[in-house]
Structure 1
Amino acid sequence: MLGSVLGTTKILGVMGFPVSHSLSPVMHNAAIASMGLDYVYVPFPIPVDDLPAAIAGLKAIQSVQGFNLTIPHKVEVIPLLDEVLPIAQSVGAVNTVKRIGDRWVGTNTDVAGFLEPLKQINCDWSQMPAVILGSGGAAKAVVAACLELGCPVIHVLGRDPKKLKKFHGTMTSQLRDYNLRVHPWASLPHLLEVAGIVINATPIGMAHDPHTPISEAEMAILPNHAIAYDLIYTPRPTKFLQIAEARGIKAIDGLEMLINQGAIALEWWLDQPVPIQIMRQALIHHLT
């Protein structure tokens, strides 16, 4: 029966910690059901210290065909894989892994997913400096995406000086010929004055977190033509985007990024087109 988990059922999933907030199972299982496939998509809550054991253990389970990665595993997983495709190498972060034979192969679908809603905006990206909040795996994908857009300069802010320095060194070695600058968080007000697009790539404001990475006073500094983009999609909208909308700034949440990166990943796992509209409808229904 469709929807049953049988001995033949193949397994996909999302690995993170925490991962209970993830809506990936909602959209992936909706797509799988509509396609009539003997697959199921499940969450894998894996603490950081257990990641090596989890990667090795899942390889031994032949029914596991692949998995996504979310905070905090997108960077740490790289040395645990058998192969990393060029897009993920250039970004320095993996969000999707596929079993190919007896090997784990990693890629990155976040870049394409992030860009999708921005393709609908008519603006001169060469006049839109980017300000990225956060220096983790998601921020690495955003840097690559902003480079592809043609942003003239990319500013990355972080609270941990050591992590920020490591981020800059890694990205500079992987993505050349672009203007990347890293800054302590205290530089935020100055950078907001010239920002064309500001992206929250931190977990601040996720789920039941009432905080926001940018205050109302700081949001007031942004130019009128600026865009506020939050990679978080629950709650919807986040407090960050509520403040942006109240200020009259164009606001984009992470839902379309989630949908598009997920559809690309599912197509890669299944080697066939997937019903992205069903994935979108499932998420919107779930959230409303």
Structure 2
Amino acid sequence: MKYKLGLIGYPIKQSMSPWIHKQFLKRAKLEGDYSIQEINPDESFAEEIVRLRNSRFDGFNVTVPYKKRIMQYLDQLDEDAQTIGAVNTVVCRNGKWMGYNTDWIGFITSLKHHYPSIFQNRRSKILLIGAGGAARGIYYGLLKEKFTRIDIANRTHSNAEAIAELAGANGRTSIMTLKDAENNLESYDLIIQTTNIGMKPNVYDMTISLSQLHGSSIVSDIVYQPINTEFLYQASQKGASIHYGHTMLLYQAQYAFELWTSKKVPVDDMEEQLRHKLEGE
């Protein structure tokens, strides 16, 4: 069997997903290809979906701005993706399209790989910065791992509240302003920056000041271009442990590939390779 895989989104010409999945195909000793299927928002999305269906893909990834929009074109939806409200992986089998979300699994798997100690205490205090789709997926993953103390800092209170509703009646999530988060950073064991602030070309932008950061904290940033964001650089200067965003990208891809092929490819040595690729080395 020769697998036909791809990625839809816009803009995605600089995506690292083709490199990652071609490595996976090679390691799994499978034939196939992974192609970019860029869909300009000015084009008819419905027509592009018809084209994709006729192209007989075995599976494809979905990235911004289509993670929500794709859902109406799917035949089935995984329970996790339905709860999160976003799909980043589609499995095409027997003429049916099934939607999944592997972003949250990618984050949790990467965090477990690098900082297993944080999972030894489910009462560790966690701060999410931002309340977009990525924050919702990560919050969902942390709930699945039975963490009970997850706070959200965001400019728009209502967006954060909508995420906190995932915890139900037993939730212990405080919603706060970015300024309040700045002033209380020393109380958190894990701080996760989930917005695109600090991404190229605006590499010196930051969501909050880290002046009150405690050196024993773990600080994560899902931005991976650049790898060492200003947020992570300043956190490391404070003595904090660092969790890089490109590792989430790699592990979510690992699970997507497993959904398509039933093959779980080991990726440990690929973290450093991906880092070099992203840094242009």
Q: Could you say if the C-alpha distance between residues 99 and 235 of structure 1 is closer, same or farther in structure 2, counting changes exceeding 3 Å?
A: same
Matched to 1:121, the amino acid is P
Name 2:138's counterpart in structure 1.
142
Greater shift, 24-33 or 53-62, is seen at 53-62
The TM-score normalised by the length of structure 1 is 0.83
Among 244, 252, 272, the alignment partner of 2:235 is 244
Residues 234 and 131 of structure 1, relative CA distance in 2, 3 Å threshold: same
Q: Residue 111 and residue 51 in structure 1: after superposition, are their counterparts in 2 closer, same or farther (change >3 A)?
A: same
Q: Secondary structure at the match of 1:264?
A: helix
CA contact (8 A) 1:114 1:142 kept: yes
Q: Give yes or no for contact 2:77–2:100 (8 Å, CA) kept in 1.
A: yes
Please identify, of 73-82 and 278-287, the stretch whose mean Cα deviation from structure 2 is larger.
Answer: 278-287
The one-letter amino acid paired with 2:55 is: I
Number of the residue aligned with 1:112:
105
Task: Tell me the CA shift for residue 108 of structure 1.
Answer: 1.4
1:9-34 C-alpha deviation (Å, 9 max, x unpaired): 64312222222332111111122234
- Shift of the 41–127 alpha-carbon distance from structure 1 to 2, 3 Å rule, reads same
Q: State the distance in 2 between where 1:214 and 1:142 align.
A: 18
* Cα distance in 2 for residues equivalent to 1:280 and 1:241: 17
Equivalent in the alignment of 1:55: 49
Paired residues of 1:91 and 1:171 also in contact (CA < 8 A): no
Q: CA 1:81–1:224 in 2, change beyond 3 Å: closer, same or farther? A: same
- Does the aligned pair in 2 maintain the 1:27–1:278 contact within 8 Å? no
Change (3 A) 1:208 1:36: same
Match in the other structure for 1:221: 212
- Using the alignment, how far apart are the partners of 1:274 and 1:140 within structure 2? 27
Which range is displaced more, 250-259 or 148-157? Answer: 148-157
Unaligned runs of 5+ in 1: 1-7
Distance 1:196 1:277, change over 3 A: closer
Rate the CA distance shift 1:247–1:281 in 2: closer, same or farther, 3 A. Answer: closer
Query: CA–CA distance in 2 between the matches of 1:11 and 1:51?
Result: 20
Matched with 1:273 is: 264
Give the paired residue count: 274
- Looking at structure 2, the residues matched to 16 and 34 of structure 1 have their Cα atoms a distance apart, in angstroms, of 26
Task: Give the match for residue 233 of structure 1.
Answer: 224
Aligned-partner SS, 1:228: strand
Q: Deviations over 1:71-90 (max 9, x none)?
A: 33323332332211012122
Q: Aligned pair in 2 of structure 1 residues 55, 194: CA closer, same or farther (>3 Å)?
A: farther
RMSD, matched Cα: 2.6
| Distance (Å, rounded) in 1 between the aligned partners of 2:180 and 2:21 | 40
Asked if the contact 1:200/1:213 (under 8 Å) is kept, the reply is no
Q: In the TM superposition, what is the alpha-carbon distance from 1:264 to its structure 2 partner?
A: 0.9
Q: CA deviation at 1:47?
A: 4.0
Question: Structure 2 vs 1, CA of residues 275 and 170 (structure 1 numbering), >3 Å: closer, same or farther?
Answer: closer
**Pairing 1:122–2:113 present:** no
Q: Deviations over 1:186-219 (max 9, x none)?
A: 433244243221111111122332233345xx21
Q: Could you say what secondary structure the match of 1:286 adopts? A: helix
CA distance in 1: counterparts of 2:10 and 2:24, whole angstroms: 24
Q: Give the unaligned 5+ runs of structure 2.
A: none
Alignment correspondent of 1:158: 154
Given that residues 27 and 265 in structure 2 are in contact (C-alpha distance below 8 angstroms), is that contact kept between their aligned partners in structure 1?
no
Instruction: Say if 2:255 is the partner of 1:264.
Output: yes
- Identify which of structures 1 and 2 has the higher relative contact order when contacts are C-alpha pairs closer than 8 Å and 6+ apart: 1
Counterpart CA distance in 1 for 2:136 and 2:247 is 18
